[in-house]
Structure 1
Amino acid sequence: MQFPSRRKKFITNSQTELYGHPLQFYGQPPLENISLTEFEALAVDRLKLLKTIENLGVSYVKLSDQYTKKLQFESKTLNFPYRPDADDRKSQAGPIELEKRRKDHISHFILRLAYCQTEDLRRWFIQQEVDLFRHRFNDLNPKQKLEFLHRNNLQYETISVEEKKTLKDKLVKSSYAASGVTVEDQEFYKVPFQDALDLVRTRKVYLKAGYVYIPHHDIVTIVLNDFRTRLSKALALTARSLPAVHSDERLQPLLNHLSHAYVGQDYSIQKNVGKISLEQIDSLSGKSFPLCMRQIHQSLRENHHLRHGGRMQYGLFLKGIGLSLEQALQFWRSEFIKGKVDADKFDKAYAYSIRHMFGKEGKRTDYTPYSCMKVILSNAPSQGDHHGCPFRHSDPELLKQKLQFYKVSPSGISQILELVKGMHYQLACQKYFELTHNLEDASFSLNHPNQYFIESQKVLGGGKDIKREMDAPQRSQENSATRGSSAAPEEAANASQDLAEGTEELDSFFQDA
């Protein structure tokens, strides 16, 4: 894939062939040239879609009406294919639909590059892509499903009318989707049982002589297993090629940033600086801080010290909720001198790093508070550390004790631990929010600790004086994704490179003296 500065959009014959069906296995990588600006924009939009799928998969029954409607709405909003062509008389999709399919195709491969880097990233990516594929496949009409099978050489053997009559009673008893009437009107596929273990395990199919007989309605299970296997192998192969990809200095910072991407509100630009008083912090930590910040605050009050990971995570969070530079210096100094650090040592070893965090030293960069993804995936805590995500990095038994200490109900703790078990860490934090604020359902998708604080203040009714303005400009990678095509691609690469270098520079300033 090459990246010239501009790309004139038009639909070629090869694209018409490649995108002739509304669904694909992503077996053929894109070969066209795109700009770095479009590269990032496509990736961010698909990441938003996959994040939505993750949230919907826990909030609703998958493939229920609510789930389907919300996913279709999000796909339409982000300009992805959201339903097959309703008019079967069309022999080919129009230019608008082909462009959507092109976006779907290219964005999938971009995120492959970003999410093949670790086992956790691969597992998350596969799960969301499988759920998206299931939704789209079930939305196809019977004719389109058969066409998809043929296009991808999934030549499952259909049984003859005579065999169907012979096995009619057994097929009806074993397949909930079949009845005495419908069994004659639908196709049944004869598939080796090892290709349909999920259906065999749940006893949804008739098994005979090493083969299972699957009604057309359930063929999605076989297709999904095939898709999952292909995608898993493709990610492993992509991971092997990463050294070559990372040798391109334009791509490496973009891909690393995408794998930890946060695509929501930017909390670095403050309109209410100084609205938080130091006397409020203890009270707010118990009412409106997410669990990650609450535990760091408690540790700071108990030990009068934090290692650099905790200082970075907590310091940027406090900055994001409105703590001014002067207040931050006073806050950290007053706490550290209660421990083993005297005022002179604090001024020499720590004050510069705090001013640097507020953009008053070094590159004078306005550093952004950490998003949930960055907290979860970056700089895992070691012994003696108190930063990180409690839902990701705490032992389940210790997490349970912590939740009990904070008076979360036993049933609530069970719900949280179940989400943690499924590796839905942000959803576990959102459930913690609902339980501690007595809400049936939060009206937002949690992606950022500072978002947690703002939403908490809204619920508690005390956010008018201290909450950040929600219309603050967004300065994350979403900003570069929405820039016009006239922006030079080098700017996107340089911005991501500056972000990576700036974070590393800030890390170095927080090291203990």
Structure 2
Amino acid sequence: MQFSGRRRKILSNPQTELYGHCLQFYVQPPLENITLTEFETFAVERLKLLKTVENLGVSYVKTSEQYSKKLESEFSNLNFPYRAAADDKKVQNGPTEYEKRRKDHISHFILRLAYCQTEDLRRWFIQQEVDLFRYRFNDLLPKHKLEFLHRNNLQYDTISVEEKKALAEKLINSSYAVSGITVEDQDFYKVPFQDALDLVRTRKVYLKAGYVYIPHQDIVTIVLNDFRTRLSKALALTARSLPAVQSDERLQPLLNHLSHAYVGQDYSIQKSVGKISLEQIDSLSVKSYPLCMRQLHQALRENHHLRHGGRMQYGLFLKGIGLTLDQALQFWRSEFIRGKVDADKFDKAYAYSIRHMFGKEGKRTDYTPYSCMKVILSNPPSQGDHHGCPFRHSDPELLKQKLQSYKISPSGINQILELVKGMHYQLACQKYFELTHNIEDSAFSLNHPNQYFIESQKLLGGGREIKREMDAPQRAQENSATRGSTVARETSANPSQDLAEMTEDLDSFFQDA
């Protein structure tokens, strides 16, 4: 790619230059000091933003008008600066707009630290940031787009008038929304084809001798390619610096948690406690369990035992759907003694850990049910284990056989496997929900196994039972999360633990963020 033009002169105030435009390439890291509360709040709110971008990016065509409208609608509920301010210099330079741009800048770099740790995390982060950038760039006014290009020294070389006239017919035939009238009134940029692969792939641009001729309205394609390349390199460099950051005991557990973070409702406190009988569990496992929990329940019934990972994942889920401590002890004891564990051994070796889940032993921490992200990204199952996410950890052929045994239609199985192939595991589970409940659109974004259970019970029971079990404060809590309330108001009051248990507490800490 060729560049021309001089670099802009650096202003006397570095912050004024850094936040001089509502959109940036995030080249310069923040250098100021911030509080841990601000660190946590900024990170979780940007994570909410990226999760929204991910969910809508799979459900809609990313360049469609429907996608843009849906994003705008969803973003309006989030407490985050995602679009340009009004065209008023006083507003742009005012304290409110400055704080928005500062938040955008700092939160991006916090998540860089969290998502540079593995190739999978880097790939996810880059994709969501690129999609967010595309939407924000397209949302800019033409003069703001031009200003952004100048600020980042992206003044691409345009073809001459003579060359444009010579290629006019081919430019009109190959470029979307270019006519005989508009071809004369706009610039075309000649760039190497590898910098505009999206346009080449969709045949929306003229290609000749290794170069593409891009009309001005499609310049976003090469800007995005530049952004993606810069961000990929930056994440690789950030990963090298991780040891220095991880030596900070305040930040290490927070950063580790953010890559597994769940940003939805807290399912550790249910008003349905004691309203589910043990006799109902087999039936509920077929009707209302997500596949991960259905798999665990089936393995427990067949083997009369689960290893530690499975006991933790399934035990906390059962706690979240309403089992009391006494019910849980009875459930696990009755199943284990059918296998190779007698009642005395169960009481000595296993009962303690069950009471520990309910906060009745050890440090008295009331542990929270695992979110989808925690199930997907932590403690992968080994041979003989049954925990984890079937969409993430199962061989595709075995997953297909399992779905067939559950009477999922061939077309439905293909849809699920396509989502799995694209690493959209939560969306694959949501599709499983729709297929097993015979609905077209589940109308919610799935982030938690206990959310799956509650939504299933609402659907199967007409919402009556669940609504009766949820009190007004809990509904207010959900509404608050939807409006994007800050972490400072919503974090739980769990006591701090040692680093080995810190991640568990942080799940609770971020539940309502």
TM-score between the two structures when normalised by the length of structure 2: 0.89
Whether contact under 8 Å (1:275, 1:465) holds in the other structure is no
Distance 1:29 1:74 in 2: 28
Unaligned runs of 5+ in 1: 1-11, 506-513
Alignment partners' CA distance in 1, 2:340 and 2:211: 72
**Aligned-residue offset at 1:210:** 3.4
Aligned to 1:183: 183
Q: Secondary structure at the match of 1:270?
A: coil
Amino acid at match of 1:276: I
Q: What is the correspondence of 1:216-365 to structure 2 with a 5 Å cutoff?
A: 216-365=216-365
Q: Is 2:117 the counterpart of 1:117?
A: yes
Amino acid at match of 2:205: V
Confirm or deny: 8 A CA contact 1:41 1:480 kept in the other structure.
no
Q: Distance in 2 between matches of 1:104 and 1:504?
A: 28
Aligned residue runs from structure 1 range 399-410, under 5 A: 399-410=399-410
C-alpha separation between the residues in 1 aligned to 2:499 and 2:287?
32
- The within-5 A match list for 1:437-452 is 437-452=437-452
Partners of 1:474 and 1:44 lie apart in 2 by 16
Amino acid at match of 2:419: L
Cα distance in structure 1, aligned partners of 2:356 and 2:307: 17
Deviations 1:103-157 (A, max 9, x none): 1111000000011111111111111101000101111122222221111122210
Which residue of structure 2 aligns with residue 483 of structure 1? 488
Structure 2 match to 1:131: 131
User: Taking structure 1 as the reference length, what is the TM-score of the superposition?
Assistant: 0.89
> Is it true that 1:374 corresponds to 2:374 in the alignment?
yes
Report the Cα distance in structure 2 between the residues aligned to 1:432 and 1:439, rounded to whole angstroms.
10
| Separation in 2, partners of 1:484, 1:271 | 22
How many angstroms does 1:162 deviate by?
2.2
How far the C-alpha of 1:70 sits from its partner, in A, is 2.9
Counterpart-to-counterpart distance in 1, 2:103 and 2:412 = 40
Do the aligned partners of 1:85 and 1:93 also contact (CA within 8 Å) in 2? no
Q: CA deviation at 1:474?
A: 6.7
Distance 2:142 2:61 in 1: 23
Distance 1:474 1:355, change over 3 A: farther
1: CA distance, partners of 2:333 / 2:79? 50
* Distance in structure 2 (CA, Å) of the matches to 1:90 and 1:504: 46
Q: How far 1:498 moved relative to its partner?
A: 5.2
User: CA–CA distance in 1 between the matches of 2:402 and 2:134?
Assistant: 38
Counterpart position of 1:469: 470
> Equivalents in 2 of 1:168, 1:90: separation in Å?
43
What corresponds to 1:154 in structure 2?
A: 154
Q: Alpha-carbon deviation of 1:21?
A: 1.2
Query: Does the CA contact (< 8 Å) of 1:159 and 1:187 recur in 2?
Result: yes
Matches of 1:408 and 1:202 in 2, distance apart?
33
Q: How many residues align?
A: 487
Structure 2: 5+ residue stretches without partners: 1-11, 506-513
Larger mean CA deviation between 200-209 and 409-418 belongs to 200-209
SS state at 2:214 partner: strand
The residue that corresponds to 2:511 in the other structure is none
**What residue number does 2:8 align with?**
none
Comparing 148-157 with 318-327, which one deviates more in the overlay? 148-157
Deviation string for 1:310-355 (max 9, x for gaps)? Answer: 0000000000100011111110111011111111111111011111
Counterpart-to-counterpart distance in 1, 2:294 and 2:317:
11
Identity, in percent, stands at: 85
Pairwise CA distance, 1:67: 2.1
| Cα pair 2:85 2:92 within 8 Å, conserved | no
Distance 1:360 1:462 in 2: 35
Distance in structure 1 (CA, Å) of the matches to 2:59 and 2:67 = 8
1:503 and 1:52 map into 2 onto residues whose CA distance is 24
Aligned counterpart, 2:60: 60
CA contact (8 A) 1:40 1:481 kept: no
> How far has the Cα of 1:66 moved from its partner?
3.1
In 2, Cα distance between the equivalents of 1:92 and 1:225? 28
Counterpart Cα distance in 2 of 1:238 and 1:115: 10
Counterpart CA distance in 2 for 1:427 and 1:495 is: 34
Which string of whole-angstrom CA distances, capped at 9 and with x for unpartnered residues, describes residues 224-262 of structure 1?
111111111111111110000001111001111111101
Q: CA RMSD in A?
A: 2.6
Secondary structure, aligned partner of 1:189: strand
Farther-moved stretch of structure 1 (326-335 vs 68-77)? 68-77
- 8 Å CA contact retained: 2:86, 2:92: no
Distance in 2 of aligned mates of 1:297 and 1:83: 46
Please list, as runs of the form range in 1=range in 2, the aligned pairs for 1:162-177 lying within 5 A after superposition.
Answer: 162-177=162-177
Does residue 394 of structure 2 align to residue 389 of structure 1?
no
**Structure 1 residues 474 and 498: CA distance shift in structure 2, 3 A:** farther
